[in-house]
Structure 1
Amino acid sequence: MKMRYFEYRKARIEIIPMIDVMLFLLVFFVIVTLQMIPDAGVSLQLPTSSQSVDLPHPKITVNVLPDGTIQVKGQTMTDAQLVALFQASGDPSKVELTIATDKTTPFQKFMNVIDDARKAGVSDVGIAAQPASGS
């Protein structure tokens, strides 16, 4: 009788670990894709800046249209509604606000949004701008 150390076994593909890996990859790509969806906004001619940097995804984006209309997520708001929105979002000092306005919008309308943010206690305010060409 001949003794073998290793018995010959036919190779087989384990399907359970492969399913685990595929589900992990699927969940990973779904989460990454959801974070890449931009906040709903309007098409604006943003001013350019040679010092612009990419900001983290803002929590609230306020669009100021050329006619002075204020929009948040597609809804038109008044100054009082904007203050109420900031105050209703929990702790206003932790709200991340980005203001996007057209180049042709009167500066006073832009300042009204900043005033509304200050009234509500928002201190983290970013201004959307396009990077200057050539930088």
Structure 2
Amino acid sequence: MNMRYFERRKARIEIIPMIDVMLFLLVFFIIVTLQMIPNAGVSLQLPTASQTDQLPHPKFIVNVLPDGTMKVKDQVVTPAQLTAMFAADGNPAQTEVTIAADKTTAFQNFMSVIDAARKANVTDIGIAAQPVPDGQP
């Protein structure tokens, strides 16, 4: 007589808890990655304009301080270094540059950034400005 007290069952892999763990890990890594992206800038008083458009996030943001100092990614650069940086990006026609100049910055310092971009054959140049608050001219 062959009696079985314990019935042998085929092993099953439960997939629902595995999906829960994978989604938790995915959310965790997304949050960690977003906090690793530097989102620092230079405090500037941007000029205002009545006609402003939202620009896509550019490859380079050049901050021009009131004393004429140029900063890219928290590094002080010269116009020659700017030209080299833009040229090293690869395809100058696809390089997007936004210039954020303080409203008290001399126009010559602003033009130095444009000259550096043009020497590197960059054609997609944006200018940062704040929209005029409603009710003001």
Q: Does the TM-score normalized on the shorter chain lie above 0.5? A: yes
Once superposed, what is the RMSD of the aligned Cα atoms? 2.3
User: 1:111, 1:25 → 2: CA distance?
Assistant: 44
Cα gap change, 1:80/1:21 in structure 2, threshold over 3 Å: closer, same or farther?
closer
Which runs of no fewer than 5 residues in structure 1 stay unpaired? Answer: 1-13
In the alignment, which residue of structure 2 is the partner of 1:21?
23
For normalisation by structure 1, the TM-score amounts to: 0.77
User: 1:35, 1:69 → 2: CA distance?
Assistant: 27
User: 2:54, 2:119 → 1: CA distance?
Assistant: 27
Which runs of no fewer than 5 residues in structure 2 stay unpaired? Answer: 1-15
Give the 3-state SS of the residue equivalent to 1:116 in structure 2: helix
Cα gap change, 1:63/1:79 in structure 2, threshold over 3 Å: closer, same or farther?
same
User: 2:82, 2:124 → 1: CA distance?
Assistant: 15
Deviation of 1:88 after TM superposition, in Å, equals 1.1
For normalisation by structure 2, the TM-score amounts to: 0.76
User: 1:125, 1:106 → 2: CA distance?
Assistant: 19
What percent of counterpart residues are identical?
54
User: 2:74, 2:31 → 1: CA distance?
Assistant: 28
What is the aligned length?
A: 121
User: 2:50, 2:38 → 1: CA distance?
Assistant: 26
User: 1:65, 1:99 → 2: CA distance?
Assistant: 11
User: 1:127, 1:35 → 2: CA distance?
Assistant: 27
* 1:56-95 correspondence to structure 2 within 5 Å: 56-95=56-95
Give the 3-state SS of the residue equivalent to 2:97 in structure 1: strand
User: 1:126, 1:36 → 2: CA distance?
Assistant: 22
Per-residue Cα deviation, 1:33-88 (whole angstroms, up to 9, x for no partner) = 359753x3210000111221222211101011111111111221111111111111
Deviation of 1:112 after TM superposition, in Å, equals 1.4
